[in-house]
Amino acid sequence: MKRLKKIMGCLPKCALLLLITHSSASYSDSNQTPSTLAVKAHQSLLVNSKMAGDRIFSVGGRGHILYSDNQGDSWTQANSPTQMLLTAIDFIDDKNGWAVGHDSVILGTNDAGENWTILFEDAKLEKPLLDVLFFDPKKGLAIGAYGLIMRTEDGGQTWQEFTINNIDWHFNSIMRVGDNHVFIAGEAGTLIRSPDLGATWTPLESPYEGSFFGAMQRSTETGHQLIIYGLQGHAFSSIDMGDQWTEVDTGVTTNILGGTFTALGDTILLGAGGTVLQQSKGTTEFKRLPYRGFENLTSTIAISASELVVFGMRGASKLSLPDPSNITSAVSLSDVSTN
């Protein structure tokens, strides 16, 4: 872990280095092949999800972008211009969204996600993009493999590629906390914080040298709670913007790949081998919920205090949460259909 120690020993504020500015003006001549409409797209690999207004979105294999207007009971496949694996999606409102994936592809929509266009691609870069975050309809960041960060200030029409000094680990997850803070979590315990929407960055002391696959946050009476999760069931919580971390005992050694908070304040983590964990608000113990499948679960959205939509290797399913005081209650999964 010499490289990790080198990262943590850099200056308090690591400068962003501008490498190149990319324009999307030529992508009408893209080499991408449009995604094929598939009846069972909702039953294939889905990696990431996002709510935009009342519409649920998910992206995944073969360039699939799906949306549901009835809380996951049925799904419609959007018009996607790529067959590349899409890894993440973000919306700033109910109309304007972006998605990223392999070939460093960046897609955009301004019609509530029904039709998508290519804003950027660079197969020669050989750095897949792994997450995307927009602050408003113009300004956003995309992150990916080998320390790749890309910034736009025109809604994705042009992109500037940056690097943070000495850090070339994979960046897996990016999230906004409060008005101005941004966090990146990634490979080899990488944790980086920006206090100014990505203008400057500070590497944080990491509580773990293994990889983090995701991060999530919620507002509290005193500020914000951050949770990071990843390899072999490791998860950590912070209430001081990442200055200090407390280990969370998940009770599992399987990789944690996704998570959310319910309306009742419960914490949900999920991951490899059909792992679904629920921690009731005000408690410290995670309880593993029975789940009929063993596929990797990658993302989830709480559609009510007692129901989730979960996404993974086998697509989308609805999952009813049991009463946390009666964890032996059956967890039901309902079938969904594609329009």
For the chain, the structural domain boundaries read: 2-25+32-338
Q: Is the pLDDT of residue 17 over 80?
A: no
Which pLDDT score is estimated for 326?
A: 57
Contact 256, 235 (CB under 8 A): yes
Q: Tell me which residue of 266, 257, 246, 334 sits closest to 306, measured CA to CA.
A: 266
Give the whole-angstrom CA distance, residue 30 versus residue 188: 34
**Model-level pTM?**
0.89
Spell out a b/e string for 240-260, using b for 16 or more CB atoms within 10 Å of the CB, else e.
ebbeebeebebebebbbbbbb
> Which listed CATH number (3.60.15.10, 2.60.120.620, 3.40.50.80, 2.130.10.10) goes with 2-25+32-338?
2.130.10.10
Give burial (CB, 10 Å; 0-12/13-18/19+) of 323.
exposed
Other Cβ atoms less than 10 A from the Cβ of 216: the count is 18
Residues 140 and 183 sit within 8 Å (Cβ to Cβ): no
Q: Among residues 177, 183, 182, which one has the least CA distance to residue 196?
A: 182
* Sign of the CA dihedral with 131 first, then 135, 141, and 147 last: negative
d(CA 176, CA 133): 8
How far apart CA 119 and CA 82 sit, in angstroms, is 11
**pLDDT value at position 28?**
57
Burial of 126 (0-12, 13-18, 19+ CB in 10 A): exposed
pLDDT tens per residue, range 281-317: 888 899 999 888 889 999 999 999 999 999 999 999 9
* Residue 8 buriedness (CB in 10 A; 0-12 / 13-18 / 19+): middle
* Band (31; pLDDT cuts 50, 70, 90): confident
Per-residue pLDDT reduced to its tens digit, 246-277: 999 999 999 999 999 999 999 999 999 999 99
Q: Whole-angstrom Cα distance, residue 274 to residue 296?
A: 6
**Cβ count near 286 (within 10 Å):** 20
Per-residue confidence (pLDDT) for residue 21, from 0 to 100:
53
Q: Are 68 and 78 in contact (CB under 8 A)?
A: no
* H helix runs in the chain, sequence order: 2-8
Q: What is the per-residue pLDDT across 199-254, written as a single tens digit (0 to 9) for each?
A: 999 999 999 999 999 999 999 999 999 999 999 999 999 999 999 999 999 999 99
Average pLDDT, the chain: 89
Q: Is the model's pLDDT at 329 over the cut of 50?
A: no
